[in-house]
Amino acid sequence: MAFSASNKEIEDDYIVHDVPLILQEGNWDCGIASTKMVLQYLNSGDFEEDKFEYICKQLGLHNSIWTIDIASIFSKYEIKHLMCTQTLGVNPTYENESFYQRSFTSEEKRINTLFDQAASKGIYIEKRSVEVAEILKHIKAGHVIIILVDAFILKCQEVELSTNSTDSKSDTKAHGYLGHFIVVCGYDKIEKRIIYRDPSFTGLFQTKFDNFDKARKAYGTDEDILFIYTDDKKEKELKKS
């Protein structure tokens, strides 16, 4: 006897949340742009630039941003979040990594202090690794994720989902590490692909689960991942759509 998949099962196999695209302006603010994308998604496009700039100024974010800084922004907005990482603080082995050298000395104390004070500042952190199944479950529930990846690795197997992508993607692995934040907003279980927004490119992209894992677990990332949760209002909107 043959069984066919239900509409619900088909819907669960392919999900894409309508996260707006915001491009980064410089070579350091991919995390800022990713955060703006998520805030606009959570608030259905209602976003106060002045408030956001004030919060970033309060936090001292002007030429460098770490995952815990992004968590701090969501804490200021009182948005439920959870940061998972393999290192509670700055990994001292990154001191000689070219990507980190430009800001390592000046940022080490600030970031370590922020980790020490995280609980008192309403920043939620767990020291652990995250597997793809947990990421898919989070997306299925209507939530989104900001994640740190090695951009050199992530570019290897990308496939454009939209037709308005304006920048070409390199398929060669460059030397070293290039930390980059992206917004994970969907998945395709059948094709085993993660769907995401990249603040450095115009378009919507996807990459195979295995490539995604390599990029997010690469040396330099500490496997940093920031789960962002929708509020009750947003969840009701998603259920209606």
Q: pLDDT band at residue 84, thresholds of 50, 70 and 90? A: very high
Neighbours of 160 (CB within 10 A): 13
pLDDT score at 100: 81
pLDDT score at 235: 52
- Quote the mean pLDDT of the chain: 86
Let me know if residue 207 belongs to a domain. yes
Let me know if residue 7 belongs to a domain. no
pLDDT score at 3: 41
Cα 231 from Cα 70, distance rounded (Å): 18
Q: In CATH, what number is assigned to the domain containing residue 38?
A: 3.90.70.10
| Domain total in the chain | 1
Let me know if residue 67 belongs to a domain. yes
pLDDT higher than threshold 70 for residue 240: no
Let me know if residue 3 belongs to a domain. no
Q: pLDDT band at residue 106, thresholds of 50, 70 and 90? A: confident
Residue 33 and residue 198 in contact, taking contact as beta carbons nearer than 8 Å: no
pLDDT score at 135: 98
Total-model pTM? 0.87
Nearest C-alpha neighbor of 28 from the set 178, 162, 142: 178
- Higher per-residue pLDDT: 108 or 106: 108
pLDDT higher than threshold 60 for residue 2: no
222 φ/ψ sector (left φ>0, alpha ψ -120 to 50, else beta)? left
Let me know if residue 82 belongs to a domain. yes
pLDDT higher than threshold 90 for residue 237: no
Partners of 81 in the β-ladder: 228
Query: Helices then strands (H, E): number in the chain?
Result: 10, 9
Partners of 234 in the β-ladder: none
Q: pLDDT band at residue 128, thresholds of 50, 70 and 90? A: very high
Let me know if residue 188 belongs to a domain. yes
- Tell me the residue range of the domain where 175 lies: 15-240
Furthest-apart CA pair in the chain: how many Å? 66
pLDDT higher than threshold 60 for residue 236: no
Let me know if residue 209 belongs to a domain. yes
pLDDT higher than threshold 60 for residue 10: no
pLDDT score at 167: 47
pLDDT score at 99: 82
Residue 115 and residue 87 in contact, taking contact as beta carbons nearer than 8 Å: no
Let me know if residue 155 belongs to a domain. yes
Select, from the ranges 13-27, 41-55, 99-113, the one with the highest average predicted confidence (pLDDT): 13-27
Residues 6+ positions from 35 with CB-CB distance below 8 Å: 70, 73, 74, 146
Q: Per-residue pLDDT tens for 43-64?
A: 976 889 999 999 999 999 988 8
